[in-house]
């Protein structure tokens, strides 16, 4: 269950970013905010090179998936801003994109052959419903990661 603590840590840190992002976009445009978000990622990676010892002997699949992860995450954040700027109501857009874990669950079950207990399956559904309900307040606009 060690994985759970890391998942909760991610949940808490991403939750805090919901507030810091709002504090940012109250003062600057979403694109400038996103730009500095990306620069922070670069600085964090530079710190990782200095502090940690990255492992370089990697397979092609791993490298492609890791790089694709960054691209998909970044593009997702950018397209979420585009959705909000294209006339979509924040309450609808954010609730809709909160459904993304459904796709991950579907893909993981179909392609990685992951199996869920009925309790976990119910938990996944309840989690997604909860995320949608929590996102119905248009006051806090957030981007993943």
Partner 1 sequence: MAGEGRPRRLPLWLFWSLVTIVMWGTWGLVSKIASDGVDAYTNQLLFTVGILPLLIFVAWKVKRAAAGEKREGRGRGVFWAFLTGILGGVGNMAYFQAMVKGGKASVVTPVTALFPMVTVLLALVFLKERLGRVQWIGLGLAFVAIYLLNA
- Nearest approach in angstroms of CB 102 to partner 1 is 7
- Nearest approach in angstroms of CB 108 to partner 1 is 4
Residue 134 in contact with partner 1, rule: CB under 8 A: yes
How many C-beta atoms lie closer than 10 Å to residue 84's C-beta? 18
- Report the site for partner 1 in 3-62 (rule: CB under 8 A): 3-4, 6-29, 31-45, 48-49, 52-56, 58-59, 61-62
- Report the site for partner 1 in 61-90 (rule: CB under 8 A): 61-63, 65-76, 78-80, 82-84, 86-88
Query: Where does residue 78 rank: exposed (0-12), middle (13-18), buried (19+ CB within 10 A)?
Result: middle
Residue 112 in contact with partner 1, rule: CB under 8 A: yes
Question: Cα–Cα distances in Å, from 13 out to 18, 20, 86?
Answer: 9, 11, 28
Q: Is 23 helix (H, G, I), strand (E, B) or coil?
A: helix
Q: Is 6 helix (H, G, I), strand (E, B) or coil?
A: helix
Residue 131 in contact with partner 1, rule: CB under 8 A: yes
């Amino acid at each position: 269950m060690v994985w759970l603590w890391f998942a909760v840590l991610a949940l808490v840190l991403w939750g805090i970013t919901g507030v810091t992002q709002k504090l940012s976009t109250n003062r600057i445009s979403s694109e400038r905010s996103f730009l500095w978000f990306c620069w922070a990622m670069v600085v964090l990676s530079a710190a990782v090179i200095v502090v940690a010892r990255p492992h370089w002997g990697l397979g092609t699949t791993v490298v492609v998936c890791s790089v694709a992860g960054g691209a998909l995450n970044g593009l997702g954040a950018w397209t979420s801003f585009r959705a909000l700027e294209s006339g979509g109501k924040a309450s609808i857009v954010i609730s809709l994109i909160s459904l993304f874990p459904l796709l991950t669950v579907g893909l993981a079950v179909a392609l990685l052959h992951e199996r869920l207990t009925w309790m976990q399956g119910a938990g996944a559904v309840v989690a997604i419903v909860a995320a949608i309900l929590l996102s119905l307040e248009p006051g806090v606009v957030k981007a993943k990661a």
